[in-house]
Amino acid sequence: MLLFSVDRSPMKRISILFVCMGNICRSPLAEGIFGHLVAEAGLTGGFMIDSAGTGGWHEGEPPDRRSIATAKSHSIDISGQRARRIRPRDFRDFDLILAMDRDNLAALEKSAPHGANIHLFGDAALGTGEDITDPYYGGPDGFELVYTRLLTGCCRLLETLGVERASCSGNTSSVR
């Protein structure tokens, strides 16, 4: 069952914004994973992918070193990303905004104009309704778990958007 819709006309780029609290752990990983999968599928020109945070504590900073290390261990480089806070124009500029957890979803819904296409990542990408837990206060295992859930969701999201990928099985070795 499709929980969201985006304009998939041939000439339209699909724009997706991944959102967590500070834009240094989960959403940069999601942006990196989805961008990697899109590039692997040869569809870079068909997508605009970005990430943001509901808070601005880390604006201008690179992702958390543990997110960078986790992505790097799967051959994805997110070190060039910089944290930013969600902007009012994001609600207009992005076809789909995916919040990593219910707290961020609620924060987005409070500031979004009517009709913004905002969903919980766990609903739209995973179909489970789960929150992607913030690994910030834990160790490397938490970041790897987040990576695995994001990979599974990003693969399913790409398939939902009409991209067939044989290597998108949720297996973490598929992007190493």
How does residue 175 score in pLDDT terms, banded at 50, 70 and 90?
Answer: very low
pTM confidence score? 0.90
Burial 35-45 (b: 16+ CB within 10 A, else e): bbbbeebeeee
> Quick one: average pLDDT of 51-63?
97
Could you confirm whether 134 is annotated as catalytic?
yes
Taking 60 as the threshold, does the pLDDT of residue 79 lie above it? yes
How does residue 6 score in pLDDT terms, banded at 50, 70 and 90?
Answer: low
Domains of the chain: 14-175 (3.40.50.2300)
Could you confirm whether 92 is annotated as catalytic?
no
Q: pLDDT: is 47 or 174 the higher one?
A: 47
Could you confirm whether 65 is annotated as catalytic?
no
Given 131, 134, 149, 154, which residue is catalytic?
134
Given 20, 25, 155, 168, which residue is catalytic?
20
Considering the chain, what percentage of its residues have pLDDT values greater than 90? 84
| Beta bridge mates, 50 | 17
Given 25, 26, 50, 131, which residue is catalytic?
26
Taking 70 as the threshold, does the pLDDT of residue 125 lie above it? yes
CA distances in angstroms from 24 to 12, 65, 74, 110, 127, listed in the order given: 29, 9, 18, 22, 24
